[in-house]
Amino acid sequence: MDPGLPDVPDVFDPRIYAEGIPHERYRLLREHHPVAWQPEPEVMGWPAGPGFWAVTRHADAVRVLRDHRTYSSWAGATQIRDPDPADLPFLRRTMLNQDPAEAAGQHGRLRRLVARAFTPARVDAFAGRVRERARALLGAAREQVEDGAADLVRTVTDEYALLNLTDLLGIPPADRGLLLDWTVRIIGYQDPEDAPAPLLGPDGAPLNPRSPALLGEMFGYARSLAAHKRAHPGDDVMTALAHAGLDPAELEMFFFLLTVAGNDTVRSAAPGGLLALARAPGAYRQLAAGEVPVDRAVEELLRVHPPVLSFRRTAAADTELAGQRIRAGDKVVVFHASANHDGRVFADPGRLDLGRTPNAHVSFGDGPHVCLGAHFARLQLRTLYEEWPRLLPAPELAGPPRRLVSNFINGITRLPLRVSGPPR
């Protein structure tokens, strides 16, 4: 290392993110170590790993996300932590952990199947129901508080994301709590307060919440729901998937992906956007007055608060990125929030500019794994931001927010905001 350069800051430890997105650490990496080796020590009872390359500039992040032949999702899946080798064949059943080697390959076939089930027309058909739910939840938050403040995560955004998704999937109302329980266990496993107690393997080490041993209940439910939809079809995504010609394992993994990713995208982005607006009252006034297009505001709020912090690839061959030699088998991790604040792409990236255009953020990824549910997420976020000024006063913090302890999901677990007073 050049002795004239600053030390490489740690962006791996999940506890860092409980204090907020580490923008100063990201800035140092972008400016001095754009592809930086990160040790992977034992943290919070989770075993040490071999380390990885942190990719923090926008252009390099896009290159990694688009070049599936060099940077593989198949080789080691998409989480920083290595999966148990015995679990890897299981994880490769989902298209998130596959490489689109050719259009007729497994990834392309599965993506086309789910795209036909998850069409914009089917999503847009739920727009009226999404708006009714936003009004109901925001109105209830205003009316049910005693001291003028409410935790918007508990009273609005968790329910909003979950119920919208279960409507789209066609989940019976009595079963909807199951999806939130599964999401919390799978997404919040690094957070000692947010997650249930980890289940331990025979060696006493925590089991990965994505291992097949811990997903049996979810998969059994997916199979029974698909059987029900074949007998009693509806205009929903699970009916479409039940009739799509998937084998049982593929259907289970689609249900897993839609349940967790489909729920947590909005569950993370919605409170993050509200927190950003609470901290930028001038920008909120522009939004409330209709001075900026809501669609642009959604993109900017996604830029400053991406739902996902990082995604991992594995080098399939020796290569070079930003002048750094990378060996086959090395882990290469893209940091979305850093790429979204790269001044080479975004003018004055630290400023919340709700009218920003163009806005080439990577909050929904890029390349062959770009988020299939982005249209539904944008619909929900746009509706929430439209309805807030009609029902509630300007968002104002009533206490410190609490962030998820995670280097993967940019979650907020508590967001106390004042909700009494006239709308504006």
Segment 104-128 mean pLDDT: 78
| CA–CA distances in Å: residue 148 to residues 264, 301, 423 | 27, 25, 13
pLDDT at 409 over 50: yes
Q: Domain of 183: which CATH number?
A: 1.10.630.10
pLDDT at 209 over 60: no
Domain for residue 52, yes or no?
A: no
Identify which of 365, 313, 265 has the alpha carbon closest to the alpha carbon of residue 80.
Answer: 313
Q: What pLDDT is attached to residue 104?
A: 45
Domain for residue 40, yes or no?
A: no
Count other C-beta atoms under 10 Å from residue 127's C-beta: 14
Q: Residue 380 corresponds to which amino acid?
A: Q
Q: Any idea which of 3-7, 29-33, 323-327, 380-384 has the lowest mean pLDDT?
A: 3-7
Average pLDDT value for the chain: 89
Domain for residue 378, yes or no?
A: yes
Tell the burial category of 8 from Cβ atoms under 10 Å away from its Cβ (0-12, 13-18, 19+): middle
- The span from the CA of 303 to the CA of 336, in Å, is 9
Our measurement of the distance from residue 286's CA atom to the centroid of its chain's CA atoms, rounded to an integer in Å, reads: 27
Domain for residue 21, yes or no?
A: no
Q: Per-residue DSSP letters for 303-361?
A: HHS-SB-EEEEEESS-EEETTEEE-TT-EEEEEHHHHTT-TTTSSSTTS--TT--S---
Domain for residue 10, yes or no?
A: no
pLDDT > 70 in the chain, percent: 90
| CA–CA distances in Å: residue 263 to residues 131, 153, 158, 167, 183 | 17, 13, 9, 12, 8
Domain for residue 13, yes or no?
A: no
pLDDT at 196 over 70: no
Tell the burial category of 283 from Cβ atoms under 10 Å away from its Cβ (0-12, 13-18, 19+): buried
Segment 243-257 mean pLDDT: 85
Q: Any idea which of 18-22, 211-215, 356-360, 363-367 has the lowest mean pLDDT?
A: 211-215
Number of structural domains, the chain?
1
Domain that holds residue 145: 84-305+343-418
C-beta separation of 270 from 141 below 8 A: no
Q: What pLDDT is attached to residue 103?
A: 42
pLDDT at 300 over 70: yes
Our measurement of the distance from residue 45's CA atom to the centroid of its chain's CA atoms, rounded to an integer in Å, reads: 24
Domain for residue 223, yes or no?
A: yes
Higher pLDDT, 422 or 125: 125
- pTM above the 0.85 mark? yes
Higher pLDDT, 107 or 50: 50
Domain for residue 313, yes or no?
A: no
Higher pLDDT, 66 or 107: 66
